[in-house]
Amino acid sequence: MSTEYYVYIMTNKSRTLYAGVTNNLMRCVDEHKNKLIKGFTSKYNIQFPVYYEMTTDIHAAIAREKQIKGWLRAKKIALIDSVNPQWKDLSEEWFVLPEMADSEKESVRAKGDEV
């Protein structure tokens, strides 16, 4: 079984961009969302993954990350817009309990509990 590597771009409400590479996208996004790693992403509240791509070649992933980081902002925005024009948080459904139906989630939210 080959390992998967992800090149990703995350943002915040002000659309500050951050590009990175990881072998576990869900864990990485969780770390950024919860500010578990000090640095640029915690300082600028980078929490929303808006783009990612996957490869099984770590060298290709690192090269792609460096390539994207070297681009002008406009080119990064065009890449995001090409696959996610609304800049939707691609992780918003990753951390939801799958067995809970939408109606159950609304009921829990109405009570003020965490989902």
Tens of pLDDT along 46-57? 999 999 999 999
DSSP readout, 46-107? --EEEEEEEES-HHHHHHHHHHHHHS-HHHHHHHHHHH-TT---TTTTTTS-TTS-HHHHHH
The DSSP output letter for 39 is S
Please name each of the domains of the chain with its CATH number: 5-111 (3.40.1440.10)
Residues of the chain with pLDDT under 50: 114-115
CB-facing half-sphere around the CA of 41: CA atoms within 13 A = 21
**15 by DSSP, 3-state: which?**
coil
